[in-house]
Structures are given as C-alpha cells and as structure tokens.
Structure 1
C-alpha cells in the first residue's frame, strides 16, 4: 500500500455555525467546499491547507456515526485520512495482513472520492480512513 500524503483530518463538530466560526477563526475564511454525504448522514465543511484538507463533520441525523461520536466523546478529532493509489488494493493488502476493516469494499466519500475505514482496534485506537481519488 502506497500512502501518498495526509489527505485530510476529520473533526467532529456539533453544528454548522460552530464549524463556520472555527473556520473563520483558524483560517480567516469560509470553507472551500461544503458537501452533504447523505449515505453517511454528515455535512462536511472543507478547508484546504496546502496539500491537506481539514474537514469539519456535522451530523445531519441523530442516528449518524458523527452524532454518536459527539454524544460519547464530544467535539474533537474524529479521524485521520491518508491518500492511497487504490482503496481496493489497500483493503486487500491490509486484510491479508490481518488488519480489521470497517469497510470490506470501497464506498462513496466527499468530492467524488472512494474511501474505506480501518477499524480503530487495528490502528492504536485511531480511526483511519483511506482515500482514493486525489
């Protein structure tokens, strides 16, 4: 598996307004992209910082994984995402090494990407996302 760079850092946020306020505070601007991913019940506020993106993740439903994360742990770092050449190949390679995957096959991510999550039990309790498409 060839990790090319940190693709983005996902931060769970309780609301759109708090996401926009933090973006203005940190970056002095509005998000570069705002996108809702209905399959994940999340709205993303994306700020490009060099080659990496910061994604503020706001739940769009009380039964989303981000809503559960906020309820259990509060606002903060949700996951790290790494760009890879092929998510499908990365999944296969990791499974062959005994790594536990949340996603057994790629799924839709923001900005037309294909993604897969590695289970935190295999990565030192850090949720890791693999991203193809950049």
Structure 2
C-alpha cells in the first residue's frame, strides 16, 4: 500500500530559522512554500531525495495561531516531529482499505495538501500513537 515515506512533518516556532538550520546542516533545498489557512500553518517543503515511488521531503510547519492544531501541539510538546506521511498511489483507496481494518480516519474525504497533493490523516491512537498522513502526490511530483 505504501510507496515511500513522503515526508516527515516537523512543528516549529520560527519557520525561517528552521529552514536556515536544515539548509546549513543537511544541505537541503526548499522546493515549495505555502500558507495553508485550512490547516492553520505556514510551511516549507525541503527536498531530501527522489526514489522509485517519488520524492521524499522534510516539511517544516509554523502555526498561524496558537489555537491551530500545530500551535496546540507546540504548546503541549514543543518543537519536533509532528507526523509521518506515507506516499500512496490513491489516497481514497488507501482510506477505504485502512478504514475497513478499524482504523479511524480524521478526514472523511481527501483534502488539499502540500504541492498540490491529496491527503488524509489517520487517528494517532489507532496507529501506535503516531499522527499518520496518507499522501497522493500531484501528477509529476
């Protein structure tokens, strides 16, 4: 079902500071920046590598407000890994298959994700405490 790890989402207080850290330390390059009002974040995608199933990235997330999901995460846990995202060929199909196995879906249907992707989240309590995202990459990504 999974083709690759699409990205690791990292919550941070200062997006520009963390971008500079990842560029300087790991020589990663920002390939996309977005403000996602629906999810309440400013984000940057930093390219790691390309593989058979597509690219892998680090996603840096800065909350737009303290009451957004990432803002609440930062208040509870501080900066660090927020979620792991797995690339799938068809997010709707993956949702149906995983949901049929008793895993709760946080999304009823796919929604807009980074770089034009379609995404859905799984309930962390049903997958070992890890917020898990399913990602169907946009064509050509």
TM-score range with shorter-chain normalisation? over 0.9
Tell me how large the CA RMSD over aligned residues is.
1.4
Match of 1:28? 27
TM-score normalised by the chain length of structure 2? 0.88
Match of 1:113? 117
Moved over 3 A (4+): none
Structure with the largest fraction of helix: 1
Shift of residue 100, structure 1, vs aligned partner: 1.1
Shift of residue 28, structure 1, vs aligned partner: 3.4
Match of 1:14? 13
Shift of residue 29, structure 1, vs aligned partner: 5.6
Q: Give the Cα–Cα distance (whole angstroms) in 1 for the partners of residues 85 and 43 of structure 2.
A: 14
1:103-134: CA deviation from partner (whole Å, max 9, x where unpaired): 12111101111000011011100111000024
**Greater Cα offset, 79-88 or 31-40:** 31-40
Q: Give the Cα–Cα distance (whole angstroms) in 2 for the partners of residues 113 and 126 of structure 1.
A: 21
Q: Give SS of 1:129's match.
A: strand
Shift of residue 12, structure 1, vs aligned partner: 0.4
TM-score normalised by the chain length of structure 1? 0.92
Unaligned runs of 5+ in 1: none
Report matched runs for 1:55-134 at 5 Å: 55-133=59-137, 134=141
Shift of residue 101, structure 1, vs aligned partner: 1.2
Unaligned runs of 5+ in 2: 51-55
